[in-house]
Amino acid sequence: MKFKIVYIHLAILLAFYGCLQDNGNYTYVDPNEVVGVGGIEEMYSITKYEDTLRISPVLLFKLGQESDFSYEWAVNHSAYNEQSGAYENTELVISTDKDLEYVANHEVPYTDLFATFKVIENSTGVAKKLGFKIRVQNAYQYGYYFLTEEGDGNSDLFMVRNNWNTIDNFYEKATGMPLKGKPFGMESYSPSGGTELIIFTSDPETVGAVLDLNEVQYKWPASKCFHEGYLGSEPIVVDWFKFEPNSGDFYTVINGSYHYTNKWGAGDYNPYIGLKSPDLDESVDRANEICWGLSLIHGTDPGTLYIAGSQGITSKLQIDGEPVAVPGECLFMAGEPGKYAFYGIDTYIFTREDGKVNETVINAAGFGALTFNLKAKREFVGTALIDDQSIFVPSYSQRYFYFSSGNKVYKYNFDAPTEMPVVAFELPEGQQISYLKMETKQVGWSLADNKFIVGSYDSTVDKPGSIYYYNPDGTLDKKYEHVCGKVIDMISKL
């Protein structure tokens, strides 16, 4: 037994010696691991859709220099799932480059995100991981939202933020989806604790969309809001009525059905069908609030005027027991500037028939039980200036109204009906005005003129839409030229 043990020990020693003498070509590589990561702060703050987060990490390698590595940047957030009744974590890889350039989009919420940077040594799979936070801020719930018609016939939003920065193709960036269909118009709805933007388009499946402006995210198609059976197979928005001053009531007309909404609602946008009658069909072309709780609606056949209260109750407007007929296409209706009570209101109605524009002035007197009187009916002195694309807006603090014609905006004096309108301001040559609004400000108990918001387009360029802000005196305040599609409508939340 002793001899056997000696032989075994000798064999081991000889084998070990043979290995030492092996002249084979073998290479042993020490893994080049990352032993340190710098250049990344604990917290970053970025504005969603706008700011680009740039981080260039500083890496310390075990062997002193970089070799074969992969990189991964990811963000994590937790959201409540109503179906499962639990919070679920979502991880989103935002880059696989060493240096990060990231713009937060619709895929992440407005919150503090837990972010990670991972460096992987490819030959071994060994990873070095570093965590930090990204605070995603919301700067897009305040500003001007412009509904535009794009070159493909579909719609989108262009936004001018309240700090005067802009963002184009905003709807698609905010939702990750295109806004389908030809644009018709928008409304702002304010349920308890929030604001919603209601967008109307011609797309038969969606009829536009509802955006939650607090979170700036898609809620559902606008078609979901209307009572079943009133949209039809091809819903068409005939008109959308924005009452001035903004008391909170508006009507939406879809396929001849009038839907009443109180803007300051308590729940989701769900318009009440308040004006469904044989007298109020698709021939109605204009509605405007004359004073709080009183609206006038104009029908094209035969130009009948209707009185609408805040609950959608209507009756024909009569003078001395006879219905009032104001024939033609209604271009504009406005109450007297500065008078928003029931007593002594003059209503100015401009209609066009056989190429001639007529001005009708009707007085509403009394309180509660109103009586109406015809004060004037005459041809409008500025008929030659009106074209098919003319847009009218009233002044809120002076006795003027304004209208567009080509690239010009004219001012007309209510108290001088024989004087020709004068140019208030003029856009650059080649511009055609497609949108005109007088923005107001509150002065005591009254509204006053603040600024004109003008949308125009030039079909000869790739970005046809331009936006101008003019002061009431006609001076230019701000401009954004050739930035979007053709401007159709605008809603502001300031």
* 120 vs 480, residue with greater confidence: 480
Specify the 3-state DSSP secondary structure of 473. Answer: coil
> First-to-last CA distance in the chain?
99
Query: Mean per-residue pLDDT for 406-416?
Result: 95
Q: What is the pLDDT of residues 336-357, one digit of tens each?
A: 776 554 456 788 999 999 989 9
What is residue 85's DSSP assignment? T
Picking from 266, 215, 205, 247, the residue whose alpha carbon sits closest to that of residue 111 is: 215
CATH of domain 34-137: 2.60.40.10
Contact call for residues 235 and 204 (beta carbons, < 8 A): yes
Contact call for residues 378 and 357 (beta carbons, < 8 A): no
Residue reference for tokens 């007297």:
336
Beta bridge partners, 476, equal 470
Domain boundaries, the chain: 34-137, 140-276, 381-494
CA angle 464–355–373, rounded 5-degree value: 110
Residue reference for tokens 């803007």:
263
Contact call for residues 268 and 320 (beta carbons, < 8 A): no
Q: Which two tokens stand for residue 391?
A: 């847009």
> In this predicted structure, which of 34-38, 201-205, 411-415, 482-486 has the lowest mean pLDDT?
34-38
How confident is residue 42, by pLDDT bands cut at 50, 70 and 90? Answer: very high
pLDDT of the residue at 74 = 95
Q: What is the pLDDT of residues 68-80, one digit of tens each?
A: 889 999 999 887 7
Query: Mean per-residue pLDDT for 230-252?
Result: 55
pLDDT of the residue at 85 = 77
Is the pLDDT at 18 greater than 50? The verdict is no
Q: What is the pLDDT of residues 263-284, one digit of tens each?
A: 666 777 777 665 544 455 557 7
Whole-angstrom distance, CA of residue 69 vs CA of residue 455: 52
Q: Which two tokens stand for residue 482?
A: 């050739």
pLDDT of the residue at 78 = 83
pLDDT of the residue at 425 = 97
The percentage of the chain sitting over the pLDDT mark of 90, rounded to a whole number, equals 42
How confident is residue 245, by pLDDT bands cut at 50, 70 and 90? Answer: very low
Picking from 89, 88, 81, 79, the residue whose alpha carbon sits closest to that of residue 116 is: 89
The percentage of the chain sitting over the pLDDT mark of 70, rounded to a whole number, equals 78
* 20 vs 18, residue with greater confidence: 18
Q: What is the pLDDT of residues 349-386, one digit of tens each?
A: 999 999 899 999 998 877 666 788 999 999 999 999 99
Is the pLDDT at 334 greater than 60? The verdict is yes
pLDDT of the residue at 249 = 61
Q: What is the pLDDT of residues 90-118, one digit of tens each?
A: 899 999 999 999 999 988 988 999 999 99
Contact call for residues 39 and 58 (beta carbons, < 8 A): yes
| Chain centroid, CA 402 distance in Å | 26
Contact call for residues 359 and 369 (beta carbons, < 8 A): no
Question: Per mean pLDDT, which of 343-357, 410-424, 432-446 is the most reliable?
Answer: 410-424
